[in-house]
Chains A and B, each alone.
Chain A
Amino acid sequence: GQNIDQPTEMTATEGAIVQINCTYQTSGFNGLFWYQQHAGEAPTFLSYNVLDGLEEKGRFSSFLSRSKGYSYLLLKELQMKDSASYLCAVVDSNYQLIWGAGTKLIIKP
């Protein structure tokens, strides 16, 4: 079967760094997305990785290791507005997105 695993909830302090992990087992792999979803709102696109390595975009970075079935999202200089759920999604062999349940990130002052 297909499976995406993320921690259910994480807590971090404003100004700090946090790493949200995602492991996956899917039928085929055609890329991995990270989305941000604030409570009561729609998911919004953060990043896409298809090759191994680190992609940096401002305060957010995303890493992929295809051989390990592993990705992480790194958030630096945390701000209160970063409190949200972070969704990991893998593009499978049929080019459908398989979604993890999301990680709720709580930022404390």
Chain B
Amino acid sequence: IAGITQAPTSQILAAGRRMTLRCTQDMRHNAMYWYRQDLGLGLRLIHYSNTAGTTGKGEVPDGYSVSRANTDDFPLTLASAVPSQTSVYFCASSDNSGSVHTQYFGPGTRLTVL
């Protein structure tokens, strides 16, 4: 593994189903993030984690949950998917120990909820 990986690459999901998007990084970054990206809108932060064991809500957290059991993994769960959650989801990580918190992104998961 080099950088950040996400799985699955894409998924079609029936409304009401539960889904977990996986994210793993091998850079030992302390902070991790989940964004959604929709056409015409900027990246919107769903949830974040500044360090293992802690999480916080972003701009659009409703309908999503996260956990950060260790440094490397940051899964995003949709408890009961709805069509408005159709989007491209990006996971990112950054080293927040310095003064510049550059975020590095995974390849994304394209999710369609029908």
**Which residues of chain A have a CB within 8 Å of any CB of chain B?**
4, 8, 31, 33, 41-45, 48, 50, 87, 89, 91, 95-102
Cα of A42 to Cα of B106 in the assembled complex, Å: 6
- Please give 13 more A-B residue pairs, beta carbons under 8 A apart, in addition to A45-B102, A95-B101, A101-B40: A33-B103, A41-B107, A42-B90, A43-B90, A43-B105, A48-B102, A50-B100, A89-B43, A91-B101, A95-B96, A96-B58, A97-B103, A99-B42
Cβ-defined partner of B43 (8 Å) among A8, A31, A48, A99: A99
> What are the residues of chain A within 8 A of B90 when measuring CB–CB?
42-43
Mask of B93-114 contacts with A, CB within 8 angstroms, 1/0: 0001000111111111000000
Cα of A31 to Cα of B45 in the assembled complex, Å: 18
> What are the residues of chain B within 8 A of A87 when measuring CB–CB?
42-43
Q: Taking the nearest CB of chain B, how far is it from the CB of A25, in angstroms? A: 14
Q: Taking the nearest CB of chain A, how far is it from the CB of B61, in angstroms? A: 13
Interface residues on B, range: 10 to 19
Closest to A31 in B: B100
B41 within 8 A of A: yes
Q: Taking the nearest CB of chain B, how far is it from the CB of A92, in angstroms? A: 11
B22 within 8 A of A: no
Closest to B39 in A: A101
Cα of A44 to Cα of B104 in the assembled complex, Å: 7
* Chain B positions 17-58 with a Cβ under 8 Å from a chain A Cβ: 40-45, 48, 58
Cα of A43 to Cα of B106 in the assembled complex, Å: 9
> What are the residues of chain B within 8 A of A102 when measuring CB–CB?
42
Cα of A97 to Cα of B93 in the assembled complex, Å: 12
A48→B42 contact, CB < 8 A: no
> What are the residues of chain A within 8 A of B42 when measuring CB–CB?
4, 87, 89, 98-102
- Of B43, B103, B107, the most chain A CB neighbours within 10 A belong to B43
Cα of A97 to Cα of B90 in the assembled complex, Å: 14
